[in-house]
């Protein structure tokens, strides 16, 4: 499949992104608000429809954003207060904005949307370039459970009713650390395909990217509740500080 990592790829999901986004951003907003100094600037990479940016702005943080999907940003603009948030349309790895920022963040596994290790490293370096001294970069990501794959494949049923079924078809590439999948919804209305490719990153690899960019790890939690990160954790929230 081609085009899955183009910056504007998520245009196709913009119209109903909020409807299918089940995660409550409240816990993330609480942590980010604490990390942002009073009166400081915050940069959200992949700001999307503003599910994090708008409540964070309401907490007094001066949020700006970058997103590759103009359709996603249109959804943000249509919400109360959304038109006041500055947004740059472009590839989030390029970080084509003027600093300094005291906080930058990339939540909901979105770093994995960048297609290669090089582009992920570019993102770290370019974020570091616009962070103020002592500023922080927060990255949220899941940890891949490789035991879920059989011969680098997996099929899962995600929902089942009398009138519909939602399934997921995944292919794992261990060399590229990539998972390519189709989420397929079958119903009386027809078939809906939702493809995506993720290039996942292990925490140790993230830490190396950060060091190469001049950042150091300040905190790593298993989630936004600041629970301890252990070998059994299925996700992480990592906070990097500019040296």
Cα separation of the two ends of the chain: 40
Q: How many domains does the chain have?
A: 2
Q: Do 35 and 92 fall within a single domain?
A: yes
The Cα–Cα gap between 217 and 207 comes to: 7
Q: Do 163 and 61 fall within a single domain?
A: no
Using the predicted structure, report yes or no on whether residue 1 has a pLDDT greater than 60. Answer: no
- Digit-coded pLDDT (tens) for 88-126: 999 999 999 999 999 999 999 999 999 999 999 999 999
Q: Do 65 and 30 fall within a single domain?
A: yes
Q: Do 223 and 119 fall within a single domain?
A: yes
Helix, strand, coil share (%) of the chain residues, nearest 5 = 30, 35, 35
Q: Do 70 and 155 fall within a single domain?
A: no
Q: Do 70 and 162 fall within a single domain?
A: no
What is the greatest pairwise CA distance in the chain? 57
- Digit-coded pLDDT (tens) for 191-238: 988 888 999 999 999 999 999 999 999 999 999 999 999 999 999 999
> Is 118 inside any structural domain?
yes
> Is 111 inside any structural domain?
yes
The Cα–Cα gap between 140 and 161 comes to: 32
CATH code where residue 217 lies: 3.40.50.150
> Is 1 inside any structural domain?
no
Using the predicted structure, report yes or no on whether residue 13 has a pLDDT greater than 70. Answer: no
The Cα–Cα gap between 102 and 90 comes to: 21
Q: Do 150 and 232 fall within a single domain?
A: no
| Cβ 29 vs Cβ 55: under 8 Å | yes
pLDDT at residue 129 in the model: 98
Task: Give the pLDDT band of residue 8 (cuts 50, 70, 90).
Answer: low
> Is 188 inside any structural domain?
yes
pTM of full prediction above 0.85? yes
Using the predicted structure, report yes or no on whether residue 18 has a pLDDT greater than 80. Answer: no
Q: Do 222 and 212 fall within a single domain?
A: yes
Residue 57's domain comprises: 9-143+200-242
Q: Do 112 and 169 fall within a single domain?
A: no
> Is 216 inside any structural domain?
yes
CATH code where residue 152 lies: 2.20.25.570
**DSSP state string for 191-234:** EEEEEEEEE---HHHHHHHHHHTTEEEEEEESSTT-PBP-TT-S
Q: Do 150 and 138 fall within a single domain?
A: no
> Is 4 inside any structural domain?
no
pLDDT at residue 112 in the model: 96
pLDDT at residue 97 in the model: 97
- Digit-coded pLDDT (tens) for 147-167: 999 999 999 999 999 999 999
Q: Do 153 and 43 fall within a single domain?
A: no
pLDDT at residue 38 in the model: 83
> Is 3 inside any structural domain?
no
Which has the higher per-residue pLDDT, 16 or 56?
56
| Cβ 85 vs Cβ 76: under 8 Å | yes
Q: Do 78 and 164 fall within a single domain?
A: no
> Is 171 inside any structural domain?
yes
């Amino acid at each position: 499949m081609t085009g899955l990592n183009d910056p504007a790829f998520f245009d196709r999901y913009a119209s109903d992104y909020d409807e299918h986004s089940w995660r409550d951003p409240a816990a993330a907003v609480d942590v980010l608000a604490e990390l942002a100094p009073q009166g400081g600037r915050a940069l959200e990479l992949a700001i999307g429809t503003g599910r994090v940016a708008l409540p964070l702005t309401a907490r007094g943080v001066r949020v700006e954003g970058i997103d590759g999907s103009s359709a996603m940003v249109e959804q943000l603009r249509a919400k109360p207060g959304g038109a006041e948030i500055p947004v740059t349309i472009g590839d989030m790895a390029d970080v084509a904005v003027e600093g300094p920022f005291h906080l930058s963040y990339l939540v909901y596994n979105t770093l994995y949307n960048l297609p290669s290790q090089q582009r992920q490293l570019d993102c770290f370096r370019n974020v570091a370039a616009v962070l103020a001294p002592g500023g922080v970069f927060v990255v949220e990501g899941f940890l891949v459970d490789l035991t879920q794959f059989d011969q680098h494949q997996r099929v899962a049923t995600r929902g089942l009713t009398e009138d519909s079924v939602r399934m997921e078809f995944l292919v794992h590439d261990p060399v590229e650390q990539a998972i390519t999948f189709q989420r397929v919804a079958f119903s009386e209305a027809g078939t809906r395909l939702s493809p995506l490719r993720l290039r996942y990153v292990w925490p140790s690899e993230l830490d190396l990217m950060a060091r190469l960019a001049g950042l150091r790890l300040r905190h790593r939690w298993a989630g936004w509740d600041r629970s301890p990160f252990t070998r059994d954790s299925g996700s992480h929230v990592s906070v990097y500080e500019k040296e």
